[in-house]
């Protein structure tokens, strides 16, 4: 069974149909890159899976449980919605760190709030200490152990994005989604972020990355999807898609991207 199954996902904004029936699957431990020109619906796809938008049609299954189904008559309760939300994580293009909290606090805040709502009070002190230790561990993985006390405004864009990655990872989502994680960064800073994502792949994380970095998509992903006009125009291994694209649209897009 695949860890992610997206079936016939549809989404319109007013009269514009942005997703026109998108279906794909992803296996645990795989990295999927989503490429495609501006406006093809990549962000919308990620936002629908992460419940920032409500799709109009289709079904999304993560790790065997349905997190969205337009056929479902009974709505998910608030608690169920949050439980579904926990299965997936999203890293934004603009980081969206919390400016008034330092690096460590940015990572621990969501963890603390979740732990409390789950009410496994094994002593608040012990719990807090344990969460902090976990958070430090994740920050070490993104090479930020020396910035724990810094505030977001004191960090470079690359560092901020790595905090955002640690913050999302710390909640242990089944799948981590990235929406153009390096597009807001200077070229010299994209390297450090891509290196972190590569490291996560080696650690066996399941990830979906929307990206304009063709080299990255080619070298790091197990699977690539090319989106055009709200549909998946072509999908395959990086070798197939970059080496021998079947669709003319794909070929044209790749030629343009390499200019």
- Residue 18 near which of ligand ATP, Mg ion, other proteins, none (CB within 5-8 Å, type-dependent): ligand ATP
Least distance (Å) between residue 41 CB and other proteins: 18
User: Given the rule CB under 5 A, which of 37-45, 66-74, 153-161, 216-224 is the region that contacts Mg ion?
Assistant: 37-45
Nearer to Mg ion, 43 or 159 (CB): 43
Query: How far apart are the C-alpha atoms of 68 and 81, rounded to whole Å?
Result: 9
The partner in contact with residue 40, picked from other proteins, ligand ATP, Mg ion, none with C-beta cut-offs of 5 to 8 angstroms by kind, is: ligand ATP
Burial of 73-82, coded b for 16+ CB within 10 Å and e otherwise, reads eeebeeeeee
According to the 3-state scheme, what is the secondary structure of 185-204?
CCHHHHHHHHHHHHHHHHCC
Binding-site partner at residue 166 among Mg ion, other proteins, ligand ATP, none, CB < 5 to 8 Å by type? none
Helix, strand, coil percentages (3-state) for the chain, rounded to 5, are 45, 25, 35
Binding at 44: pick from Mg ion, other proteins, ligand ATP, none (beta carbon under 5-8 Å per type):
ligand ATP
Residues near other proteins (CB under 8 A)? 50-52, 78, 82, 85-86, 89-90, 92, 94, 96-100, 109-110, 113-114, 117, 151-153, 167-168, 171
Q: Report the greatest alpha carbon distance in the chain.
A: 61
Output 39 or 236, the one with its CB closest to ligand ATP. 39
Determine contact, residues 208/34, Cβ cutoff 8 Å.
Answer: yes
């Amino acid at each position: 069974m695949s860890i992610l199954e997206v079936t016939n996902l549809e989404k319109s904004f007013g009269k514009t149909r942005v997703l026109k029936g998108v279906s794909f699957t992803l296996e645990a431990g795989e990295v999927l890159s989503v490429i495609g020109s501006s406006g093809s619906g990549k962000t919308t796809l990620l936002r629908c899976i992460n419940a920032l938008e409500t799709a109009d049609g289709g079904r999304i299954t993560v790790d065997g449980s349905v997190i969205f189904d337009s056929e479902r008559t009974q709505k998910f309760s608030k608690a169920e919605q949050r439980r579904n939300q926990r299965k997936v994580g999203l890293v934004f293009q603009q980081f969206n760190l919390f400016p008034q909290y330092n690096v460590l606090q940015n990572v621990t805040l969501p963890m603390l709030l979740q732990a409390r709502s789950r009410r496994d009070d094994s002593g608040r002190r012990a719990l807090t200490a344990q969460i902090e230790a976990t958070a430090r561990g994740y920050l070490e993985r993104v090479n930020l152990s020396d910035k724990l006390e810094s505030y977001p405004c004191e960090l470079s864009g690359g560092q901020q994005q790595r905090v955002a990655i640690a913050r999302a990872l710390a909640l242990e989502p089944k799948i981590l989604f990235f929406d153009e994680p390096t597009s807001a960064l200077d070229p010299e800073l994209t390297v450090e972020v891509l290196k972190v994502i590569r490291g996560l792949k080696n650690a066996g994380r399941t990830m979906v990355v929307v990206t304009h970095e063709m080299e990255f998509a080619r070298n790091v992903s197990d699977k690539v999807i090319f989106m055009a006009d709200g549909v998946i125009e072509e999908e395959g291994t990086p070798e197939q898609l970059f080496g021998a694209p079947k669709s003319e649209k794909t070929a044209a897009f790749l030629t343009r991207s390499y200019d």
